[in-house]
């Protein structure tokens, strides 16, 4: 990752209204063993041999006290379409009542943040520090609000369901452009389908470990 952008932290948070915060979610009421509360499960984990990246699938609904909180994540640590490396993430939430959900990036101080441009149907955001950059594409942006708050960048959705399909790329020099089509985003000759990240196979690599299940 380019120097100056290594301090960016990917955060996933939910801001609940006060009434919901005082009321236990259906999951918390239905779980008899309190030791399970507030814990996430690793559903699947695979490494891409030869590059250090891989695929990860997580279930965090107990952590966020909603009926569904699922993350699929691809880390592709090879040059792709003008980027040094790419992260593709699909965060999906659902609950019986409406919530405000915030997907957040909290960069280190001193970065320039721009957002809101439209590119092939997606909305983009761009972090810069010197010659280094991080560019993001928000797919299916209808209903999403992009903003900054205290130097953090946020994508916000409100409702009983919320999906965040976001691709991040890092590099130096001129950021690349991408082609978005529904749940897919293409950088150069590589396409990421945010609804099927578990099927992603980077060119020139193979999986070096079998899927595993673990509880965090």
Q: pLDDT, tens digit, for every residue of 16-58?
A: 222 222 222 222 222 334 444 456 888 999 999 888 899 999 9
Q: pLDDT, tens digit, for every residue of 155-164?
A: 999 999 999 9
The CATH class that applies to domain 1-17+57-176 reads: mainly beta
At 17, list the tokens.
């209204």
What pTM does this model have? 0.80
Question: Could you report how far apart the first and last alpha carbons of the chain are, in Å?
Answer: 26
d(CA 120, CA 101): 25
Q: pLDDT, tens digit, for every residue of 129-143?
A: 999 999 999 999 999
Spatial contact of 46 and 207, defined as CB atoms under 8 Å apart: yes
Nearest of 11, 19, 17 to residue 100 by alpha carbon: 17
Domain boundaries, the chain: 1-17+57-176
Helix, strand, coil percentages for the chain (3-state, nearest 5)? 10, 55, 35
């Amino acid at each position: 990752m380019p120097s100056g952008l290594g301090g960016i932290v990917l955060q996933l948070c939910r801001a609940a209204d006060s009434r919901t915060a005082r009321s236990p979610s259906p999951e918390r009421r239905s779980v008899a063993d309190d030791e399970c509360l507030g814990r996430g499960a690793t559903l699947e984990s695979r490494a891409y041999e030869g590059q250090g990246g891989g695929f990860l699938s997580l279930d965090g609904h107990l952590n966020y006290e909603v009926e569904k909180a699922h993350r699929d994540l691809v880390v592709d640590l090879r040059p792709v379409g003008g980027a040094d490396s790419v992260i593709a993430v699909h965060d999906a939430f659902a609950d019986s009542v409406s919530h405000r959900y915030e997907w957040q990036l909290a960069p280190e101080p001193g970065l320039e943040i721009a957002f809101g441009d439209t590119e092939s149907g997606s909305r983009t955001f761009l972090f810069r520090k010197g010659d280094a950059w991080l560019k993001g594409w928000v797919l299916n942006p209808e209903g999403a609000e992009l903003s900054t708050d205290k130097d953090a960048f946020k994508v916000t959705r409100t409702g009983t369901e919320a999906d965040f399909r976001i691709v991040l790329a890092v590099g130096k020099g001129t950021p690349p452009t991408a082609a978005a089509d529904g749940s897919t985003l293409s950088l150069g000759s590589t396409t990421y389908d945010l609804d099927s990240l578990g099927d992603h196979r980077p060119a020139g690599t193979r999986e070096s470990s079998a899927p595993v299940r673990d509880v965090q």
